[in-house]
Chain A
Amino acid sequence: MGENSLRLPGSIDLAPSRSFTETFPEWLHEWVVTVDHKRLGMLYIVYAIFFLLVAGAEAVAIRIQLAFPGNHFLVAQAFNRFFTMHGTTMVFLVGMPILFGFGNYVVPLQIGARDMAYPRLNAFSFWLTAFGGLFLYYSFLGGGGLYGVGSAPDVGWWAYAPLTAKAFSPGHATDYWALALIVSGFGTLGTAINIIATVVSMRCKGMTMMRLPLFSWLMLVVSGLTLITITPLTAAQIMLLIDRYLGGHFFDTQAGGSAVIWMHFFWIFGHPEVYVLVLPAFAIANEVIPVFSRKAIFGYPAMVAASVGIAFISLSVWAHHMFTIGMTSVSNTFFVLSTMLVGIPTGIKIFNWLATIWGGKIRFATPMLFCTAFLYQFLIAGLTGIMLSVAPWNWQLHNSYFVIAHFHYVLVGAIVFCIFAGIYYWYPKATGRMLNEKLGKWHFWLFLIGYHVTFDTMFFVGILGMPRSIYTYEPNRGWNTLNLIVSAGGIIQALAVLLFAVNLIWSYFRGQQAGNDPWDAWTLEWGTTSPPPPYNFAEDPIVRSRRPLWDLKHPEDPDWEYEG
């Protein structure tokens, strides 16, 4: 016993590094035709960060317009396009690509595989997603765009029927929205299939499902959930296009179609989608929190069960977005219950993270700072979610800024914070250089302050009755000061994100050398070089526990003696 066949990184036979005589076209060509999971993962992440900056700029424009009542920074039509594009971009062109980017980069490394199961499908999926995004943004120029205000989608990212019908949305704005998401949706489906196949069939010797690192476990769950949820969205969008161009009447209320059916289709996608985005964030926290607390994750089996449980329950809660559409009291009651039930597995997760920290020796490097803030913010996100699940209260809060604050607590407070944590955590692995810690801490604290100034205040604006999606408001409604504060916070967040962008670029050239294992971590990706060679491992690793590198570093006290 005690012998471990995973060879330490120094012994890995490195592929020759790229020669410096490579010309720019050669370099570009390599990136375009690559089927390497690491390069594709980085392409996903860079693509997503680019759109994060774009959609962030849209958010800043929205907040400038709303800083004062009756402001004239944006006209109504432009504002509507901006909030539609902000939401659509953040969900489809930032959230999903970046999380699949992490999945692509980390999962094969973590399970000791040489690549994804289907490298070519992987490249195909990425380029579909990329063209979907470019197509969506072409809408600012194309179609009727050259005539003035642009023809970017302006129907809200939820695109409720019948506002999307030809009668109410002439021109091509809605078509851009539907077609772009169908295209990028197919890319997402391809990646989801790929991750499932990879995790199921490419694990290295000794890595049973109950030794799979939690990050990979959650990516598996997310991919399964993605297959289930993207499908109804794509179906609904095709139905919408049939309505618009082939004389269909699925959602055409003037010809007897149903607006409510669209809502059901959209939210049976839309709610699980929240979990598609948040589970990878949990996945990142599952790696970062134990490593920086210097303890094994508490309750691994419970964490796996809770993740599967969340995915399962999340498929039954969609109509809590629809408490105000006049469902029967019995249906409302059902969705109150299913929604509240999600609180139980998410609660278990928070308690397990807390127990992981408990008794540890916490190192507050930047990834851990982001994850610590995530724990508080996700707690608030969950509790405000419980408030919103109380249907009668929801009748007041629905579509108000309270809801905006709540879901930004999930999407920013939990997901974006974990994405930042993930980038600070794996950037050294991907580039071989550390991100600058000093800039990282500035980024963290500025972003944290800006975030709370914005979104904490939004709860109060919402309780004072301000609805979402309005481009202006009257000065006598009591919302003026609060809106100004919200906007100020938005500017602070934008500054923090710019610092982050600077850090990414600066550290790529000047960052401190990382070495193979800068965080003293325990999963297989830290057992190879930074950046890893093509095909990752010279020799297939063999593992005997959930933390193969812990076993290597502590041969006197290996994990396999304790894991049940």
Chain B
Amino acid sequence: MAPTSTPAYEIKALSFFVLSITGSIFLVVAGLLTYSVIKYRAKQADQLSEPAQIYGSTQIELAWTVIPVLIVIVLFLTTARLIFAIQDAPEPEPSLDVTVIGHQFWWEFRYPKLGIVTANELHVPLSSEQAPVPTYLTLLSADVDHSFWVPQLAGKTDLIPNHPNATWINPLEPGLYVGQCAQFCGAQHALMLLRVYVDDPDQFSAWAKNQQEPAVEDPGVAAGRRVFETQACMSCHTIRGTAATGRFGPDLTHLMSRQTLASGAADNNVQTLKQWIQNPASFKSACLMPAMQLNDQQLDQVTDYLATLR
């Protein structure tokens, strides 16, 4: 679980510093305690007499007040420095802006400057020391409190309704990073998983270009599209270029470009997709998507249609 992004690196360095101080305090105090517990055990022979009574000492009290005060000062100053460095870091150019919206129990990602809307799988460009392209996240919530946490990239920040928050990452190694919602948000809090793909710049622009396109129109699956638009699907989901503009559930315009369904609860392929539409609770009990009670023919048609949305 090595960190791979700027705030996470710095936090790790600070944590090692704090751990070394607290660890030393532990060794000293626990050592003294162990020594005295062993040394001053009552021996059978002297059960009867009482030891010398000592009531206190002002000098000693002062000494063990002043030393902790000094330690606190050191820890506080180091911590304060990093708080300001992370929280008040100016946003450089170029950088990527993404708006993250927490929902029960999935993530919506909107890239306002790129005109992209997607869900559950966040793609960000790789940054580097020479040409930094950090990603700045605006954190909102559509319903209850959530928390955005991908440990290898940065600490967590909450998504609170009526209280916009912000955080940033500056990932320096490509790859897939897994995290999840870290603030209890209701029945399926546990399966509100989060995937962040750090793509190298070419991959990222190819991905972005594809996402900006409207949905693929394949006349072969027109029947499925009709099912989607005439059943309740469209009142919750958007497929750009069609009549479906719902916002309660994830945007499905490029559904098949995502590797997972249901906020990471299942792999995304035709079989799981079909099962998901038929009975969402089979992957994710108590999720807010209802079982649509489609007949077999409708189910096949709508699955075939969604499977074309690359």
Interface residues of A (CB under 8 A from B): 75-77, 80, 154-156, 160-163, 167-168, 253-254, 256-260, 293-296, 298-302, 324-326, 328-329, 332-333, 336-337, 340-341, 343-344, 347-348, 350-352, 354-355, 357-364, 372, 375-376, 379-380, 383-384, 386-387, 389-396, 398-400, 463-465, 467-474, 477-478, 554, 557, 559, 562-564
6 A-B pairs with least C-beta separation: A395-B155, A470-B190, A326-B165, A253-B161, A299-B56, A469-B184
**Within the assembled complex, what's the spacing in Å between the Cα atoms of A344 and B55?**
21
Q: Is A392 a contact of B162 with CB atoms below 8 Å?
A: no
B65 partner, pick from A300, A328, A344, A350, beta carbons under 8 A: A344
Binds A, one of B11-19, B116-124, B293-301: B11-19
Q: Is A336 a contact of B144 with CB atoms below 8 Å?
A: no
Q: Which residues of B contact A293 (CB under 8 A)?
A: 40, 51
Decide yes or no whether B60 CB sits under 8 A from chain A: yes
Q: Is B182 a contact of A464 with CB atoms below 8 Å?
A: no
Q: Is B51 a contact of A76 with CB atoms below 8 Å?
A: no
Q: Which residues of B contact A343 (CB under 8 A)?
A: 68, 72
**Within the assembled complex, what's the spacing in Å between the Cα atoms of A166 and B271?**
37
Q: Is A340 a contact of B184 with CB atoms below 8 Å?
A: no
Decide yes or no whether B145 CB sits under 8 A from chain A: yes
A168 partner, pick from B14, B144, B178, beta carbons under 8 A: B144
B160 partner, pick from A260, A296, A348, A471, beta carbons under 8 A: A260
Q: Can you list 6 A-B pairs with a CB-CB distance of less than 8 A? A: A259-B162, A357-B33, A362-B42, A379-B33, A396-B11, A396-B15
Q: Is B190 a contact of A471 with CB atoms below 8 Å?
A: yes
Q: Is A398 a contact of B143 with CB atoms below 8 Å?
A: no
Q: Is A299 a contact of B37 with CB atoms below 8 Å?
A: no
**Within the assembled complex, what's the spacing in Å between the Cα atoms of A355 and B58?**
13
**Within the assembled complex, what's the spacing in Å between the Cα atoms of A355 and B54?**
9
Q: Which residues of B contact A564 (CB under 8 A)?
A: 55
Beyond the given A348-B61, A393-B18, please list 19 additional residue pairs across the A-B interface where CB-CB is below 8 A. Answer: A80-B184, A168-B143, A168-B144, A253-B162, A259-B163, A295-B51, A325-B165, A329-B84, A333-B80, A333-B84, A362-B37, A376-B30, A379-B33, A384-B22, A392-B11, A396-B151, A465-B149, A472-B190, A554-B50
Q: Which residues of A contact B162 (CB under 8 A)?
A: 253, 256-259
Chain A proximity mask over B160-176: 1 for CB below 8 Å, otherwise 0: 11110110000000000
Which chain A residue has the least Cβ–Cβ distance from B71? A343
Q: Is A469 a contact of B156 with CB atoms below 8 Å?
A: no
Give the shortest distance, in Å, between A381 (CB) and chain B (any CB). 11
**With A348-B65, A398-B182 in contact, do A359 and B51 touch (Cβ < 8 Å)?**
yes
B11 partner, pick from A376, A393, A472, A557, beta carbons under 8 A: A393
Q: Is B22 a contact of A357 with CB atoms below 8 Å?
A: no
**With A296-B54, A359-B40, A392-B10 in contact, do A260 and B25 touch (Cβ < 8 Å)?**
no
Decide yes or no whether B201 CB sits under 8 A from chain A: no
Interface residues of B (CB under 8 A from A): 1, 7-8, 10-11, 14-15, 18-19, 22-23, 25-26, 29-30, 32-33, 36-37, 40-43, 46-47, 50-57, 60-61, 64-65, 68-69, 72, 75-76, 79-80, 82-84, 86-88, 104, 139, 143-145, 147, 149, 151, 154-158, 160-163, 165-166, 178-191, 193, 285-286
**With A77-B286, A254-B161, A393-B11 in contact, do A163 and B144 touch (Cβ < 8 Å)?**
yes
Q: Is A375 a contact of B182 with CB atoms below 8 Å?
A: no
**Within the assembled complex, what's the spacing in Å between the Cα atoms of A375 and B143?**
44
B41 partner, pick from A299, A344, A364, A398, beta carbons under 8 A: A364
Q: Which residues of B contact A161 (CB under 8 A)?
A: 145
Q: Is B1 a contact of A386 with CB atoms below 8 Å?
A: no
Q: Is B22 a contact of A386 with CB atoms below 8 Å?
A: yes
Q: Is A332 a contact of B182 with CB atoms below 8 Å?
A: no
Give the shortest distance, in Å, between A215 (CB) and chain B (any CB). 18
Q: Is A394 a contact of B155 with CB atoms below 8 Å?
A: yes
**Within the assembled complex, what's the spacing in Å between the Cα atoms of A198 and B132?**
66
Q: Is A465 a contact of B68 with CB atoms below 8 Å?
A: no
Q: Which residues of A contact B190 (CB under 8 A)?
A: 76, 469-473
**Within the assembled complex, what's the spacing in Å between the Cα atoms of A345 and B151?**
33
A399 partner, pick from B42, B69, B87, B156, beta carbons under 8 A: B156
Q: Which residues of A contact B68 (CB under 8 A)?
A: 343-344, 347-348
Q: Is A387 a contact of B72 with CB atoms below 8 Å?
A: no
Q: Is A390 a contact of B161 with CB atoms below 8 Å?
A: no
Q: Which residues of A contact B52 (CB under 8 A)?
A: 359
Q: Which residues of A contact B32 (CB under 8 A)?
A: 354
**Within the assembled complex, what's the spacing in Å between the Cα atoms of A473 and B189?**
11
Q: Which residues of B contact A77 (CB under 8 A)?
A: 187, 285-286
Q: Is B76 a contact of A336 with CB atoms below 8 Å?
A: yes
Q: Is A399 a contact of B18 with CB atoms below 8 Å?
A: no
Q: Is A372 a contact of B147 with CB atoms below 8 Å?
A: no
Q: Which residues of B contact A393 (CB under 8 A)?
A: 11, 14-15, 18, 155
Which chain A residue has the least Cβ–Cβ distance from B180? A467
**Within the assembled complex, what's the spacing in Å between the Cα atoms of A341 and B26?**
18
Most buried by A among B149, B184, B186: B184
Q: Is A298 a contact of B56 with CB atoms below 8 Å?
A: yes
A76 partner, pick from B40, B43, B55, B286, beta carbons under 8 A: B286
Q: Which residues of B contact A563 (CB under 8 A)?
A: 55
Q: Which residues of B contact A364 (CB under 8 A)?
A: 41
Most buried by A among B37, B52, B60: B37
**With A357-B40, A361-B51, A387-B22 in contact, do A326 and B155 touch (Cβ < 8 Å)?**
no
Q: Which residues of B contact A562 (CB under 8 A)?
A: 53, 55
Which chain A residue has the least Cβ–Cβ distance from B72? A340
**Within the assembled complex, what's the spacing in Å between the Cα atoms of A400 and B179?**
12
Q: Which residues of B contact A162 (CB under 8 A)?
A: 143-145, 161
Which chain B residue has the least Cβ–Cβ distance from A355? B60
Q: Which residues of A contact B165 (CB under 8 A)?
A: 325-326
Give the shortest distance, in Å, between A110 (CB) and chain B (any CB). 19
Which chain B residue has the least Cβ–Cβ distance from A477? B178
**With A350-B29, A361-B40 in contact, do A296 and B147 touch (Cβ < 8 Å)?**
no
Q: Is A392 a contact of B285 with CB atoms below 8 Å?
A: no
Q: Is B56 a contact of A300 with CB atoms below 8 Å?
A: yes
A156 partner, pick from B7, B60, B143, B184, beta carbons under 8 A: B184
Give the shortest distance, in Å, between B279 (CB) and chain A (any CB). 15
Q: Is A396 a contact of B79 with CB atoms below 8 Å?
A: no
**Within the assembled complex, what's the spacing in Å between the Cα atoms of A465 and B180?**
9
Which chain B residue has the least Cβ–Cβ distance from A379? B29
**Within the assembled complex, what's the spacing in Å between the Cα atoms of A559 and B54?**
10
**Within the assembled complex, what's the spacing in Å between the Cα atoms of A354 and B188?**
47
Which chain B residue has the least Cβ–Cβ distance from A300? B56
**Within the assembled complex, what's the spacing in Å between the Cα atoms of A69 and B144?**
26
Q: Is B36 a contact of A357 with CB atoms below 8 Å?
A: yes
Most buried by A among B54, B60, B181: B54
Q: Is B64 a contact of A347 with CB atoms below 8 Å?
A: yes
Q: Is B29 a contact of A326 with CB atoms below 8 Å?
A: no
Q: Which residues of A contact B180 (CB under 8 A)?
A: 467, 470
Which chain B residue has the least Cβ–Cβ distance from A260? B163
Which chain B residue has the least Cβ–Cβ distance from A258? B162
**With A163-B144, A364-B41, A387-B19 in contact, do A470 and B189 touch (Cβ < 8 Å)?**
yes
Give the shortest distance, in Å, between A156 (CB) and chain B (any CB). 5
B25 partner, pick from A326, A383, A471, beta carbons under 8 A: A383
Q: Which residues of B contact A299 (CB under 8 A)?
A: 55-57, 60-61
Q: Which residues of A contact B84 (CB under 8 A)?
A: 329, 333
Q: Is A294 a contact of B50 with CB atoms below 8 Å?
A: yes
Q: Which residues of B contact A260 (CB under 8 A)?
A: 160, 163
Which chain B residue has the least Cβ–Cβ distance from A557? B53
**With A160-B184, A326-B160, A395-B11 in contact, do A344 and B143 touch (Cβ < 8 Å)?**
no
**Within the assembled complex, what's the spacing in Å between the Cα atoms of A155 and B84?**
33
**Within the assembled complex, what's the spacing in Å between the Cα atoms of A472 and B163?**
29
Q: Is A160 a contact of B33 with CB atoms below 8 Å?
A: no
Q: Which residues of B contact A359 (CB under 8 A)?
A: 40, 51-52, 54
Q: Is A298 a contact of B64 with CB atoms below 8 Å?
A: no
**With A383-B25, A392-B79, A393-B18 in contact, do A296 and B158 touch (Cβ < 8 Å)?**
no
